[in-house]
């Protein structure tokens, strides 16, 4: 029987890892299945652009994986049972509800993250978000209808993390008829260096974004946002960027997770509780080379993915497992299409005094987005053509055994 590798999620992390495993492992003794809920690759890093009105490419996963030998199953993962080594799925490409269980020998868990309201009343009902394509498109429709009305309108972006900053500036630039406010719990761009904060403030002024600092939102209503200080802000479209969470599926399946549901992994991205399970990207709680949790980010999806590829190929083929880099060194932030900030990060995860602002970082960011799309939609490019056969006991990993105890670290920060 072939060794069954099942990859859950075909985002930046999952698509990349699946393709690379297909390139490196021989199909004579491995079979790789990717399960993804939607048929195309979603460029999450550009969803604020989609919401603002831009069209973004969404390559079909069937094309991405064509010729790689990977089986694509369009299905929603509903449960993981790591003791029985099965995943429960409901197919999404059929009219009737079809589903079942999918057995695996090695599981790669890459289900990413989603917007989370952290229980703020009304946020789930009334706010929009840019964390998933469907919700970004809903926001776009609302902005279109406000534009069509021709009387202006107010957009309130809650949260001044990097996603909130990018969303507010992008919408303000693309929709000059609307007034955009950005709500920051502390000082605007608190995680940036002083110079970068100054650049951000000037960009907000230029684009007409009203910044409300040291403001917490208590509740979201249909046409306004209520703040903790008792004030209310009129809002025709509230954009919630103040929280990101991960699916409860891993925790429900009994995998060792952090308080926010990320799977705790070792240096090789292997679950510390279930050795046949690897977690990568936003779903993984991985410690970087600086001893700190890697933030949820596309960069971390790449680094954790590369390390998981080395570990899976190494363990299955009996090769030495290389330690690949696990770092987070830059924030690339777009401020609309023509401005941006490049902020370097030190080993403590803090902004270095040095930053770059203006057109050049905007161009670099646009290049990064293109590269990320290209790398994900050509997942096997540049990898060695020679396929490795499995070591004598291909299911060695299954027997590897005893569940490993591990301590939980501090809660991960994330890029958003
Ligand atoms: C607007 C925005 C801007 C961003 N900008 C940046 C940036 O500039 N730089 C940066 O580094 N990061 C950025 N990020 C963060 C970055 O997009 C994520 O960290 C990255 O997408 C994580 O990759 P991933 O593969 O773990 O998850 P995802 O890319 O989210 O992929 C997860 C995949 O799993 C699928 N899936 C989820 N649940 C299920 C299920 N139950 N069943 C089946 N399939 C499922 C999804 O459809 C998706 O295909 C941004 C995020 C947003 C929302």
Q: Ligand 1 centroid vs 316 CA: distance in angstroms?
A: 28
Distance in angstroms (rounded) separating the CA atoms of residues 35 and 160: 33
Q: Tell me, yes or no, whether 269 and 390 share the same domain.
A: yes
Q: How would you classify the pairing of strands 86-91 and 71-81?
A: antiparallel
**Residue 162: CATH number of its domain:** 3.50.50.60
Q: Tell me, yes or no, whether 14 and 96 share the same domain.
A: yes
Q: Tell me, yes or no, whether 258 and 109 share the same domain.
A: yes
pTM (two decimals): 0.93
Which residue, among 263, 322, 254, has the nearest Cα to 294 in the 3D structure? 263
> Among 240, 255, 283, which residue terminates a domain?
240
45 within ligand 1 shell (Cβ under 6 A)? yes
9 within ligand 1 shell (Cβ under 6 A)? yes
- Look at ligand 1, atom 27, and give the residue with the nearest C-alpha: 112
Residue 414 lies in a domain: no
Neighbours of 317 (CB within 10 A): 18
Residue 408 lies in a domain: no
Predicted pLDDT of residue 7: 98
Q: Tell me, yes or no, whether 121 and 218 share the same domain.
A: yes
145 within 8 A of 42, measured Cβ to Cβ? no
Q: Ligand 1 centroid vs 100 CA: distance in angstroms?
A: 25
Residue 367 lies in a domain: no
Per residue in 276-319, pLDDT tens?
A: 999 999 999 999 999 999 999 999 999 999 999 999 999 999 99
Q: How many independent structural domains does the chain possess?
A: 2
Q: Mutate which of 44, 48, 132, 253 to test ligand 1's pocket (most atoms within 8 Å of Cβ)?
A: 44
> Among 240, 269, 302, which residue terminates a domain?
240
Spatial strand order of the sheet with 351-358 comes to 330-334, 340-345, 351-358
Residue 335 lies in a domain: no
End-to-end CA distance of the chain: 43
Secondary structure (DSSP) of 286-330? -B-TTSSBPPBSHHHHHHHHHHHHHHHHHHHHTPPPP-------E
35 within ligand 1 shell (Cβ under 6 A)? yes
Residue 370 lies in a domain: no
Distance in angstroms (rounded) separating the CA atoms of residues 182 and 209: 7
Q: Tell me, yes or no, whether 24 and 159 share the same domain.
A: no
Q: Tell me, yes or no, whether 251 and 196 share the same domain.
A: no
Residue 359 lies in a domain: no
Predicted pLDDT of residue 398: 46
Residue 194 lies in a domain: yes
> Among 216, 240, 264, which residue terminates a domain?
240
Predicted pLDDT of residue 338: 97
309 within ligand 1 shell (Cβ under 6 A)? no
Predicted pLDDT of residue 403: 38
Per-run averaged pLDDT (10 residues), the chain, 416 residues: 97 96 93 97 98 97 94 97 97 81 98 94 97 97 96 96 97 98 97 97 98 97 96 97 94 98 98 98 98 96 97 96 96 97 94 96 97 89 76 53 37 50
Q: Tell me, yes or no, whether 253 and 395 share the same domain.
A: yes
Q: Tell me, yes or no, whether 132 and 235 share the same domain.
A: yes
Q: Which residue has the tokens 């025709």?
A: 236
Neighbours of 214 (CB within 10 A): 12
Residue 35 lies in a domain: yes
Q: Pick the atom of ligand 1 nearest to 12's CA.
A: 25
Q: Tell me, yes or no, whether 164 and 105 share the same domain.
A: no
Q: Tell me, yes or no, whether 275 and 212 share the same domain.
A: no
Q: Ligand 1 centroid vs 9 CA: distance in angstroms?
A: 9
- Look at ligand 1, atom 37, and give the residue with the nearest C-alpha: 111
Q: Tell me, yes or no, whether 390 and 306 share the same domain.
A: yes
**Which domain covers residue 174, as residue numbers?**
115-240
Q: Tell me, yes or no, whether 234 and 258 share the same domain.
A: no
Residues 6+ apart with CB under 8 A from 151: none
Predicted pLDDT of residue 394: 47
Distance in angstroms (rounded) separating the CA atoms of residues 310 and 327: 16
Q: Pick the atom of ligand 1 nearest to 11's CA.
A: 31
């Amino acid at each position: 029987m072939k060794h069954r590798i099942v990859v859950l999620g075909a985002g930046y992390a999952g698509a990349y890892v699946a393709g690379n495993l297909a390139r490196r492992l021989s199909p004579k003794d491995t079979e790789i299945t990717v399960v993804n809920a939607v048929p195309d690759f979603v460029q999450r890093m550009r969803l604020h652009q989609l919401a603002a009105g831009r069209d973004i490419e969404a390559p079909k996963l069937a094309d991405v994986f064509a010729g790689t030998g990977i089986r694509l199953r369009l299905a929603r993962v509903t449960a993981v049972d790591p003791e029985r080594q099965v995943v429960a799925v409901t197919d999404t490409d059929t009219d009737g509800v079809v589903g079942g269980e999918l057995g695996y020998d090695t599981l790669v868990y890459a289900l990413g993250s989603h917007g989370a309201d952290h229980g703020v009343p009304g946020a789930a009902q009334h706010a929009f978000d840019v964390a998933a394509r469907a919700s970004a498109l809903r926001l776009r429709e609302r902005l279109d209808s406000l534009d069509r009305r021709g009387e202006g309108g107010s957009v309130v972006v809650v949260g001044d993390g990097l996603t909130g900053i990018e969303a507010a500036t992008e919408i303000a630039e693309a929709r000059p008829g609307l007034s955009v406010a950005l709500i920051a719990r502390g000082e605007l761009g608190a995680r940036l260096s002083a110079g970068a904060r100054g650049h951000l403030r000037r960009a907000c002024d230029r684009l007409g974004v009203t910044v409300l600092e040291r403001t917490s939102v208590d509740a979201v209503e249909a046409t306004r946002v209520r703040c903790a200080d008792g004030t209310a802000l009129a809002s025709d479209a509230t954009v919630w960027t103040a929280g990101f969470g991960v699916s409860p599926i891993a925790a429900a399946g009994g995998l060792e997770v952090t308080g926010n549901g990320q799977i705790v992994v070792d240096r090789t991205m292997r679950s510390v509780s279930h050795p046949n399970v690897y977690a990568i990207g936003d779903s993984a709680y991985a410690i970087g080379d600086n001893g700190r949790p890697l933030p949820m980010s596309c960069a971390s999806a790449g680094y954790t993915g590369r390390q998981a590829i080395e570990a899976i190929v190494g363990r299955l083929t009996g090769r030495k497992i290389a330690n690949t880099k696990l770092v987070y060194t830059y924030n690339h932030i777009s401020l609309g299409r023509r401005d941006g900030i490049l902020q370097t990060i030190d080993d403590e995860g803090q902004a270095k005094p040095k930053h770059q602002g203006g057109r050049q970082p905007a161009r670099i960011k646009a290049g990064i987005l293109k590269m990320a799309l290209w790398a994900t939609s050509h997942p096997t490019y540049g990898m060695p053509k020679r396929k490795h056969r499995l070591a004598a006991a291909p299911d060695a990993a299954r027997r590897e055994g005893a569940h490993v105890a591990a301590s939980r670290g501090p809660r991960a920060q994330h890029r958003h």
